[in-house]
Amino acid sequence: MEGQLFPAWIVTGIFAGLLSYFGCKGAMLLASWSGMIVQPGDRQSHGEATPTGGGLGLVASTIITAMLVQIYFPLPVFWWQGVLPGVVVLTIIGWLDDRRPVSSLLRLLVQLAVSLWLIGFVCSQVDLYSLLWCVNGVLAVLWVMNLYNFMDGSNGMAGFQGVFSGLVLGFFFYLDNQYSMTLLSTAVAAACAGFLPLNFPRAKIFMGDVASVPLGFIFASLAIYGILSGALGLASSLLVMSVFFVDTTLTLLARAIRGERWYTAHNQHVYQRLIAKGWSHSRVLVAYQITNLVLVLPAIVLAEIYPANAVLIVGSALLALSACWYSTNLKLDALGVGETE
């Protein structure tokens, strides 16, 4: 089976990427036809009206490619019963929200439901019934879904992060001889890549909640599976999306400390403030992805090679990212950039 993996990897990537591209183009036409247009505003990082919901093709590509992978490299029941139902539900509610805003409470309840379903399924499969683990698992999945959604506000940001996260997770599944999960992770990464020509460097369409929230759910699910199967360490898993995690978490903590309504829409993430200062979307994207390649990826590799020191390595990487977030905000505060509530 290992000898068949390389051609299967190539075919999977090409198929998922092309299917995603044409699916997203179809979604773009549908969005334009149905009036799913995002207008410029104080909390937007874009200056022109743009269709949204293009990520529908991305999610569809991932699901269809997974079905084809199943024929030759059967995927674990974890994907079909634990993850896929949540992806479908989140895609539906995301599409409805992109068309016409759905109440925050309903969205939260749906996210909570799919998180409980996933963690409940995991616990039933591995006989893990620790209340603390289950609660932390649900909260972690909820947070990853939302931080991915929060960071989907700049051209290429969510798409490139999806490529990075999918390839990293796929690599560690490969090292652990989990070939079906390698191909699934590759499919997700390729589907994100297929969306990029329509969103970067110029955004012809936005990804929308229809894909950003399901993508967060998928990556949280893959990380959980990697941890429980032994393909990835718990500490290392925290770094896969750490550039999103640090920017979102520290920004919302800062808003809460200042007494602001941290749960409302805003423009105070570092990437938003840099764009407000005059940075191009491309320049911001390059800064985030260079951070992934120069800091995050080496830290993940070191943490996996030296598991006894994983906590120290991961903690140091998160501290370095936090220091970058803090120093950047200090400079932007001095310029009075991005203070709109």
Q: What is the pLDDT of residues 304-339, one digit of tens each?
A: 999 999 999 999 999 999 999 999 999 887 455 555
Cα dihedral value 250, 225, 165, 292, nearest 10: 50
For 208, phi then psi, to 5°, come to: 80, 165
Q: What mean pLDDT comes out for the span 43-65?
A: 87
Q: Would you say 143 and 216 are in contact if contact means Cβ atoms under 8 Å apart?
A: no
Q: Residue 159's closest CA among 306, 326, 288, 250?
A: 288
| ∠ Cα 62 63 65 (to 5°) | 65
pTM of the predicted model as reported, rounded to 2 decimal places: 0.94
List, for residues 107-134, the tens digit of each pLDDT value.
999 999 999 999 999 988 776 667 778 8
Tokens of 110: 């749906």
Residue 171 to residue 178: CA distance in whole angstroms? 10
Q: Residue 137's closest CA among 204, 55, 227?
A: 227
Residue 224 to residue 78: CA distance in whole angstroms? 10
Is the pLDDT score of 24 beyond 90? yes
Q: What mean pLDDT comes out for the span 172-197?
A: 97
pLDDT at 341 (0 to 100): 47
pLDDT at 133 (0 to 100): 82
Residue 9 to residue 17: CA distance in whole angstroms? 12
Beta strand segments in the chain, E: 37-38, 50-51
Q: Would you say 186 and 151 are in contact if contact means Cβ atoms under 8 Å apart?
A: no
Share of the chain above pLDDT 90, in %: 75
Q: Would you say 338 and 273 are in contact if contact means Cβ atoms under 8 Å apart?
A: yes
Q: Would you say 125 and 78 are in contact if contact means Cβ atoms under 8 Å apart?
A: yes
- Give the model's confidence band at 266: pLDDT under 50 very low, under 70 low, under 90 confident, else very high: confident
Q: What mean pLDDT comes out for the span 279-290?
A: 96
pLDDT at 54 (0 to 100): 93
Is the pLDDT score of 139 beyond 50? yes
